[in-house]
Amino acid sequence: MKTRREKIVELLSENEGKTLLELADLTNVPVKVVAQDLDSVRKTIRYDNKRIEVRPAVCMNCNYTFSGRSRISDPHKCPECHSERISPQIFRIISS
Ligand SMILES: [Zn+2]
């Protein structure tokens, strides 16, 4: 029996990557819990010389890119145009 965090590592090792919402759906826990898991996974996979690569969230209205974000949760509002139509971050585990 795999732990939820092991399952998340497996899901994120697939090529296309996953959003927080997809991970939450696939592991049956709230997005908030998945975000906490990712924070922990991010630390533990370092020992395997791997890291989480994040494709940043982008505002669908003005194309503002949320790059260099340290928090795992998705942004809700664009700081440029205040739109709430934000495409979510996509997480993937890669070898570093
Ligand atoms: Zn915007």
Residue-level pLDDT, tens digit, the chain, 96 residues: 889 999 999 999 998 999 999 999 999 999 999 999 999 999 999 999 999 999 999 999 999 999 988 889 999 999 999 999 999 999 999 998
How far away, in angstroms, is 83 Cα from ligand 1 center?
5
**Ligand 1 centroid, distance to 56 Cα (angstroms):** 14
Model pTM score: 0.92
CA of 73 relative to ligand 1 center, distance in Å: 18
Span from the CA of 25 to the centroid of ligand 1 (angstroms): 27
CA of 66 to the centre of ligand 1 (A): 10
Spatial distance between the Cα atoms of 2 and 77, rounded to a whole number of angstroms = 36
The number of angstroms, rounded, from the C-alpha of 77 to the middle of its chain's C-alpha atoms is 17
Domain annotation for the chain: domains and CATH numbers? 4-95 (1.10.10)
Q: Which DSSP string do the residues of 39-50 spell out, in sequence order?
A: HHHHHHGGGGTE
Task: Compute, in angstroms, the gap from residue 18 CA to the centroid of ligand 1.
Answer: 23
